[in-house]
Amino acid sequence: MITKAVLRPAEMANLQIQFESSPHVFKCSQVRGSLGLHGNRVNFINPYLERFRPLAERNVGLSLKCQHGFMRKSFKGNELPFHTDKFGLDVTITIQIATSDNQINPLIVHVSLEEDIEERLNNGDATVVKGREFAHSRPPVKSDWMLGLFLHYSFT
């Protein structure tokens, strides 16, 4: 379920500037062609874990433990393959931080064999997914680029 506008424009601008200037950005293999940044390498990502834990807990109806944060910049044509998340990453909040244009680049949650949910985020919007229970994917990015913040939680 999408929660609209969870971050202020100034916070998103700051995240983008910090990502773009970080020496710890690396080529992320999960989404071929994309760039990633682990929250444990910098000081500006993981504080969002605790801030948004109540949002994640409300969505899944369970107590959660903060794990780690991550940012990814994907470029046109980059694709998140169909997958479920690794052990310990039970719940993930995806927040769209910035895009090169106003096109929607949906996250697809495969809730059953018959049903896919298309999560259509605008900048600042968040969606909470039980990423080990539900496979998810993102079709090739239509925008020139998009930047996201991912906050991982585990069941306590």
- Based on CB atoms, which residue is closest to Fe ion, 2 or 11? 2
* Size of site (CB under 5 A) for Fe ion: 2
- Based on CB atoms, which residue is closest to Fe ion, 8 or 120? 120
Residue 129 CB, nearest approach to Fe ion (Å): 8
Residue selected from 85, 95, 96, 98 as contacting Fe ion according to rule CB under 5 A: 85
- Based on CB atoms, which residue is closest to Fe ion, 93 or 98? 93
The token pair that represents 116 in the structure block: 């896919």
What residues contact residue 136 under an 8 Å CB cut-off, 6+ apart?
80, 82, 83, 84, 107, 108, 109, 110, 129
Pairing outcome for strands 2-3 and 126-129: antiparallel
119 interacts with Fe ion by CB under 5 A: no
Tell me if residue 42 falls in helix, strand or coil.
coil
36 interacts with Fe ion by CB under 5 A: no
Pairing outcome for strands 116-119 and 107-110: antiparallel
90 interacts with Fe ion by CB under 5 A: no
131 interacts with Fe ion by CB under 5 A: yes
Exposed / middle / buried, residue 137 (Cβ in 10 Å: 0-12, 13-18, 19+): middle
Single-letter amino acid, residue 8:
R
Residue 23 CB, nearest approach to Fe ion (Å): 25
Nearest to 25 by CA among 35, 14, 40: 35
- The stretch among 5-13, 65-73, 118-126, 131-139 that binds Fe ion (CB under 5 A) is 131-139
How is residue 147 annotated by DSSP?
A: E
- The stretch among 12-20, 44-52, 84-92, 96-104 that binds Fe ion (CB under 5 A) is 84-92
Residue 90 CB, nearest approach to Fe ion (Å): 11
Which residues would be at the binding site for Fe ion (CB under 5 A)? 85, 131
